Every structure is written in C-alpha cells, then in structure tokens.
C-alpha cells in the first residue's frame, strides 16, 4: 500500500487538476498553455488531462456534487485572479480533506 501522501500526489491531484483545467478551457476559452501556467504544470500534462489519461478515476470525483462544486469554485477563483498558485495548493488540500472525511481515499488497509 502506498503512503497516503504518495497516493494523493499520484492519483488524486492529477484528477482534480484535470477537472479544473477542463473547466477553465471549456468555460473561459483559455489555451492549454495558459491553463498549465495557472495550475503550475505542463501543457502536455493538460493535454493528457483533457483525454482523461491521468489521475484518479475522474468518474469517482464526478459522482460527488460537493467535490464538483469545490472544483468549479477553484476554477472560477483562479480565472478571476482571486487565488494565487500558492493559495490553489491550499484549495487542493481542502479537496483531499473532504475526500478523507468521506472515505473516498484508501484507508491504509487497501479499501475505500
């Protein structure tokens, strides 16, 4: 079993970034390069995100309206300039805390 932080970094955050990037690109018409800059990642990563090739099963995130509200809020706040890249990291942490609280992250024994 991976340590929780390793699991979050490799599985959850890419999925969250994917949803945020899609929202910014589709709703605000920005380029993949601009989305990458705003999310402090690379344009190829954004391209992969758009094709759902990375991260946690995005369908899991989409099944939870509260998570999608958080994702949509983050995307909107990034686009409005309301949050910095540093603050965006804290927003990601709030998503992880929500997922832990609602048993959406493996519990250390391999289960959800």
The answer to whether 61 touches 67, Cβ cutoff 8 Å, is yes
Please state the φ and ψ torsions of residue 43, each to the nearest 5 degrees: -65, -40
Residue (of 13, 30, 42, 10) closest to 76 by Cα position:
30
pLDDT tens sequence across 13-51: 888 888 999 999 999 999 999 999 999 899 999 988 777
* Whole-model pTM over 0.75: yes
Which SS3 state, helix, strand or coil, does residue 109 take?
coil
pLDDT tens sequence across 97-108: 898 898 888 765
pLDDT tens sequence across 66-105: 999 999 999 999 999 999 878 888 888 899 889 889 888 8
């Amino acid at each position: 079993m991976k340590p929780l932080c390793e699991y979050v970094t490799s599985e959850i955050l890419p999925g969250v970034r994917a949803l945020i990037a899609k929202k910014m690109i589709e709703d605000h018409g920005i380029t993949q390069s601009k989305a990458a800059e705003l999310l402090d990642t690379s344009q190829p990563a954004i391209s992969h995100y758009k094709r759902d090739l990375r991260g946690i099963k995005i369908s899991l995130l989409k099944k939870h309206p509260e998570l999608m509200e958080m994702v949509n809020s983050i995307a909107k706040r990034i686009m409005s300039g309301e949050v910095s890249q540093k603050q965006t990291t804290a927003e990601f942490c709030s998503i992880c805390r929500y997922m832990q609280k609602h048993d959406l992250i493996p519990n250390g024994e391999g289960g959800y």
